[in-house]
Chains A and B, each alone.
Chain A
């Protein structure tokens, strides 16, 4: 019998378990047929020795091989194997990936913190939609990862603001570890350390309008354990007073005492203080009426992604919309020229959509182009002379919602080369990228540069363009009632790169309309 395309397998190597899910779509919803949580402590080694022993990896491979057997029973061909912190933070992660490949044949995908966050946000938005908050309700979403803290604002079906701070639970402990033995009140040190973030967040967040805080991410699970709250389907409401009481309880305690106090594993105990520190910081900023823990998780989201039920496309589009919204929000914090950005976005997409045959790219690349179009001039707020370079830094340092670091790098390179020089052969940083990435960047860059030229004067002179591609010619009709000498000149300069990339020279034809 042929492979079963209706089924998906997801394997997730986490800190204290390896998970297997075998999922199928029933009436448009994801349903699990097999659910195995195999306990094996991996994170502890990563945390204590910075490396995972091969003995442990061999044991993990035994478990994985059993999972493969079970997937074979269902004749599954669509599957994905992922890992997060436990492997990511281990110094020998590359060898681990290699060993797992050799011993099990599985290609292990180590997710970045931001990718993990995206998957979880995606799942969270899905369940938030079902919850039907009013259009006025502003919700602060926080993803608490081991390596980063994501803050996002959700309203009326979309995330419109997102901010990433590199203070994950594990990272916090690591950073402050030397102080654990020096202070009787480590929790206080954490809070002090977080206070600078608290102040800057308070400046950007409309704190008084926010009523709900929803936390998500694997690291928050211990909260439920300590408060002895059973797991619910989508959201678990946490008694804020009970939680705040615990903050007082862990003052003047060291991780070892906490480990005993709450009967936690080492790894959980070590993460509890930074986690509570983050909670306390957030409550100091927002003072929410309700605090909810989201059960949104990586596994559900991955299953959703692989199986792509009908609702997935809708959710994906919606999430893309959130990506655009947050990009705009980010750009506005750099006082960007919104009209210019809109014009470049519009023209870029027009060219992109008209030249599918020429570039052969898909919807994800289109999204990257869109984001690049919006953010490309943001660097001007820092430095007008070398603004493209500044835009590049903004993109790289801001960690835009929904985009992986690979994608951010692509967008960064597009904005970096959008105005002056194009990537040259002596540009070491660019050359170090894989060839496929370089080609992708160049293609999107060529399009963006053309689109940018139509609004050279930032006066929105060009209302519309249309693109006509024949075998020999590529003509772009530019609609404007005002003369476009500057734009045509700019176009001529920027089309050189376009010709270099696509081998066809576009013609600028003004249409008076």
Chain B
């Protein structure tokens, strides 16, 4: 039986599969099994996710429509069809968000005395407090903007919560004004007299808005928010990438509007005015019945206290291999070390950098940085290393979306300290996460390499699941040097020993590996592929999977987000199973397993199977070679595949369902937490047995 693998019916639309992912996150907000504040967080995540989705994806589709781009996506949809589908889905999702907050979460919180109040609910004391708060704190930071013939519609910043106001002046035509809800102030103000009663900032502004417009009558007040195109338009021929990105960041603030969110209760007059002024269509307008900018709930649910409404805190565990050891080089020299974050702490990566920065034998440190944390210890150590006279080369990817400004700041700081900073490559985003330390040892130059599926970001390393590898393997060291030589422009081409590098060799090699499993299956052996990734979109890769499945390769995919492959099509993809995990931690690892007739080849990577990763980004895929570590990764993989609590499986129609629940509930993330705790404990215990027999030489007097 032969299949036309280019047929539209074998591919899902990426935008819809992404929306379905966001829907799975939303389901976690609805899931009563999760603590209430965590549910608020999930809800908040769905909202900030949607913001980015509109700023980048929807904006892009709108541009395609504008440009009359006719080409269909692999699922056969035109840009316009996609837009309509998206709008429909998001309208549905907004209703679901409203329901989630209004019907499920807020009443539950209220039962537990956590209240989101309206002005009408307040007692005198509380009211006076707010009045005072308005006058002393809010008033100084807000500026009303009137709209009339002499004052045109103001340029409203992207994602800014704003109050639209309809005013009346005696004897004149009513006119509009705007007041931004200042993002510098907390969105939810705690009320006196109760530890757990809050009121939203926009409600306070609305209540006292009269004092901003003395002499006018305030007819209507409604909050709204617009989302703009924020996809940076970077000129690839730019001579100075830094300058070019700074320029386009200024432009981002003025990107065309793609979405209007407005309170459902807003009067038609205001709705019409905004729609006209922003030149939006009905499909672009989302009426919110709960609360605008749910993303603000993140900060709210992160506030101290309310621990009973949160997950039991989990502290990333020390790695048993590194714990208590001072010389990390010595350990890595002996064997490869794997860290499984966030179950195992990210600290050793920082410690390693710190040791490298201060070690007199270290000659050079080279690192790629994509997203770093606020007060980054990574940056601090790199600066320290430069001050200590090491050659420090840092590739700071300025094009890391929404982190551009932060990265420009770091790049300049590193440069001032004497590091050799490269601002990414023209036309390519450097997404690979790699750290190279060159050390001059007694028996010659030795290279130490750390590579990971996740960023050098100590904050997200507590929330994202990632796997990192330390190695002193000579060939990988050579490859790491060669990669940095390419990135710095020292070299132009190279032969790789063990690394697979996008956009050069990664995709073709990956497809070859899939092919190899297919050939094994054809020879009557077992073909087995297991992959964990964030997104699966690349058509060539999907085709390779389909072909392998046709010929009998068993393919298990765990794809968190976008996934356009369709499992379970008769004779085509019956051997393909797709799962997705949305849990307490963000699934972020990329693990690629090829059974290779019982002699598994296992790789970790910074890359997802998306064209952007494989063609427009610098990514690496690296092998796990030590038998012990291979076993560990296989264990990790198998546990992920047996999860039946946070896993949903994809149906042939593209929808996701619970996996059939067995009596044993397996929540892989929780189990990984427990395993990390146990293995650290057992290390401590095995050490303390020797402690017990420690002879006492001196008796205290």
Cβ contact of A74, chosen from B445, B489, B492, cutoff 8 A? B445
Bound CA–CA A35/B479 (angstroms)? 11
The answer to whether B389 touches A1, judged by C-beta atoms less than 8 angstroms apart, is: yes
Note all chain B residues with C-beta closer than 8 A to A33.
444-445, 481
A24 within 8 A of B: yes
Q: Is A4 an interface residue (CB 8 A)?
A: yes
Which A34-53 residues have a C-beta within 8 angstroms of B?
Answer: 34-39
Contact for A37 among B391, B444, B481, B493, CB less than 8 A: B493
- Is A7 engaged at the interface, CB distance under 8 Å to the other chain? yes
Chain A residues lying within 8 Å of B485, measured Cβ to Cβ, are 34, 36, 70
**In the complex with contacts A6-B444, A73-B364, A67-B490 CB distance below 8 A:** yes
Complex A-B, nearest 4 residue pairs according to Cβ-Cβ distance, in ascending order: A73-B391, A36-B491, A73-B364, A66-B490
B495 CB to nearest A CB, Å: 9
A-B contact list, 17 entries, CB within 8 Å: A1-B363, A1-B440, A4-B440, A20-B490, A24-B444, A26-B443, A31-B444, A33-B444, A33-B445, A36-B491, A37-B493, A69-B420, A69-B488, A69-B490, A72-B391, A73-B364, A73-B391
Q: How far is the CA of A33 from the CA of B445 in the complex (A)?
A: 7
Does A75 sit at the interface, judged by CB under 8 A? yes
Q: In B389-417, which residues have CB < 8 Å from any A CB?
A: 389, 391
Number of A-B contacts (CB under 8 A): 53
Across the interface, do B363 and A26 meet the contact criterion of CB distance under 8 Å? no
B668 to chain A minimum Cβ distance, whole angstroms, is: 42
Chain A positions 1 through 20: 1 when the CB is less than 8 Å from some CB of chain B, otherwise 0 = 10010110000000000001
Residues of B within 8 A of A (CB): 360, 363-364, 389, 391, 420, 438, 440, 443-445, 478, 481-482, 485, 488-494
Chain B nearest Cβ from A361, distance in angstroms = 35
Q: How far is the CA of A164 from the CA of B360 in the complex (A)?
A: 52
**A31 CA / B475 CA spacing, docked (Å):** 12
Q: What's the Cα separation between A70 and B493 when bound, in Å?
A: 16
Rounded to whole angstroms, the CA-CA distance of A39 and B493 in the bound complex is 8
- What residues on A are CB-neighbors of B389 within 8 Å? 1
- A interface size (C-beta, 8 A): 24
Which residue of B445, B482, B490, B492 is within 8 Å of A24 (Cβ)?
B445
Of A7, A20, A37, A66, which contacts B445 at CB under 8 A?
A7
A59 to chain B, nearest CB (A): 12
- Is the CB–CB distance between B363 and A73 below 8 Å? yes
CB-based contact B363/A75 at 8 Å: yes
A24–B478 alpha-carbon span in the complex (Å): 14
Interface residues of A in 236-274 (CB under 8 A from B): none
CA–CA, A70 and B391, complex, Å: 9
Q: A1-B360, A73-B364 are in contact. Are A38 and B491 (CB under 8 A)?
A: yes
**Contacting residues, chain B, for A74 (C-beta < 8 A):** 363-364, 438, 440, 445
Q: What DSSP secondary structure best describes chain A's contact surface?
A: strand
Question: Out of B360, B481, B492, B493, which one reaches A34, CB within 8 Å?
Answer: B481
Assembled-state Cα–Cα distance A26/B492 (Å) = 27
Which residues of the partner chain B approach A36 to less than 8 Å between Cβ atoms? 485, 490-491, 494
Residue of B nearest to A33 (CB): B445
Q: With A and B bound together, what is the CA distance between A35 and B482 in angstroms?
A: 8
CA distance A38 to B364 in the complex (A): 22
Write the nearest CB–CB distance from A423 to chain B, whole angstroms.
Answer: 50
What's the least CB distance linking B238 to chain A, in Å? 19
**Residues in A whose Cβ lies below 8 Å from that of B494:** 36
Q: Which residues of B contact A69 (CB under 8 A)?
A: 420, 488, 490
Say how far A222's CB is from chain B's closest CB, in angstroms. 19
- CB contacts (< 8 Å) of A4 on chain B: these are 363, 440
| A72–B491 alpha-carbon span in the complex (Å) | 16
| B493 CB contacts on chain A under 8 angstroms | 37, 39
| A26 to B443 alpha-carbon distance, docked (Å) | 7
Complex contact B438–A38 (CB within 8 A)? no
Considering the chains assembled together, what is the distance between the CA atoms of A24 and B440 in angstroms?
11
A193 CB → nearest B CB, Å: 38
Chain A: CB-nearest residue to B481: A34
The chain B residue with its CB closest to the CB of A74 is B363
Q: Complex formed: what's the CA distance from A4 to B363 in Å?
A: 10
Q: Which of B389, B478, B482, B492 has the most CB of A within 10 A?
A: B492
Query: Is the CB–CB distance between B491 and A73 below 8 Å?
Result: no
Report the separation of the CA atoms of residues A36 and B481 in the bound assembly, to the nearest whole angstrom. 10
Instruction: Report the Cα distance A67→B481, complex, angstroms.
Output: 13
Bound-state Cα–Cα, A153 to B323, Å:
63
Which residues of B are found within 8 Å of A34, using beta-carbon distances? 481, 485
Q: How far is the CB of B701 from chain A (nearest CB, A)?
A: 48
- Let me know if A39 and B391 touch, CB within 8 A: no
- Min CB gap B15→A, angstroms: 42
Nearest neighbor of B389 in chain A, beta-carbon distance:
A1
* A346 CB to nearest B CB, Å: 44
Please, which residues of chain B bring their CB within 8 A of the CB of A25? 444
Q: Which of A50-80 contact B (CB under 8 A)?
A: 66-67, 69-70, 72-75
Contacts A36-B491, A74-B364 known; 20 new A-B pairs at CB < 8 A: A1-B360, A4-B440, A6-B444, A20-B490, A33-B444, A33-B481, A34-B485, A39-B493, A66-B489, A66-B490, A67-B490, A69-B420, A69-B488, A69-B490, A70-B490, A73-B364, A74-B363, A74-B440, A74-B445, A75-B363
What are the residues of chain A within 8 A of B492 when measuring CB–CB?
38-39
Docked complex Cα distance between A69 and B478 (Å): 18
Cβ contacts under 8 Å, B482 to chain A? 35
Q: What is the chain A residue whose CB lies nearest that of B442?
A: A6
- Which residues on B sit within 8 Å (CB–CB) of A6? 444
List the A residue with the shortest CB-CB distance to B477.
A33
What separation, in Å, do the CA atoms of A41 and B170 have in the docked complex?
A: 81
For residue B426, give the distance in angstroms from its CB to the closest CB of chain A.
Answer: 16
Report chain B residues within 8 Å CB of A72. Answer: 391
In the complex, what's the smallest C-beta–C-beta distance from B41 to chain A, in angstroms? Answer: 45
Name the residue of chain A whose CB is nearest to the CB of B420: A69
Closest CB in chain B relative to A167 CB, distance in Å: 34
> In the complex, what residues of B have CB within 8 A of residue A1's CB?
360, 363, 389, 440
| Chain A residue contacts of B364, Cβ below 8 A | 73-74
Q: List A contacts of B443 (CB < 8 A).
A: 26
Residues of B within 8 A of A20 (CB): 490
Q: Once the chains are docked, how many angstroms separate the CA of A35 from the CA of B490?
A: 11
Within 64-107 of A, Cβ neighbours of B (below 8 Å) are at 66-67, 69-70, 72-75
Distance (whole angstroms) from the CB of B499 to the closest CB of chain A: 15
A7, B438: Cα distance in complex, Å: 14
A66→B393 CA distance, assembly (Å): 13
User: Across the interface, do A73 and B438 meet the contact criterion of CB distance under 8 Å?
Assistant: yes
B residues less than 8 Å from A31 (CB atoms): 444
Q: Collect the chain B residues with CB atoms within 8 Å of residue A67's CB.
A: 490
Please report the C-alpha to C-alpha distance between residue A31 and residue B445 in the assembled complex, in whole angstroms: 10
Within A303-344, which residues are at the interface with B (CB < 8 Å)?
none
Q: Which residue of A lies closest to B484 (CB)?
A: A70
Residue of A nearest to B366 (CB): A73
Alpha-carbon distance A100/B273, docked complex (angstroms): 68
For the complex formed, measure the closest distance between the CB of A388 and the CB atoms of chain B, giving whole angstroms.
52
| From A67, A72, A73, residue with most partner B Cβ within 10 Å | A73
**Most chain A CB inside 10 Å of its own CB: which residue of B485, B488, B494:** B485
CA A20 to CA B493, docked complex, whole Å: 13
A229 CB → nearest B CB, Å: 17
Q: How far is the CA of A73 from the CA of B420 in the complex (A)?
A: 11
A73 to B491, CA, bound (A): 15
What is the minimal beta-carbon distance from B444 to any residue of chain A, in angstroms? 5
Please indicate the chain A residues that have their CB under 8 angstroms from the CB of B478 in the complex: 35
Interface centre among A1, A20, A72 (most CB of B within 10 A): A1
**Cα of A235 to Cα of B438 in the assembled complex, Å:** 32
Choose among A6, A7, A36, A75 the residue with the greatest number of B CB atoms under 10 Å from its CB: A36
A 220-235 binary contact with B (CB < 8 Å = 1; else 0): 0000000000000000
Residue of B nearest to A34 (CB): B481
Min CB distance, B385 to chain A, in Å?
A: 12
- Residues on the A chain within 8 Å of B444, using CB: 6, 24-26, 31, 33
Contacts of B481 in A (CB 8 A): 33-34
B contact residues around A66 at 8 Å (CB): 488-490
Least distance between B689 CB and chain A CB atoms (Å): 41
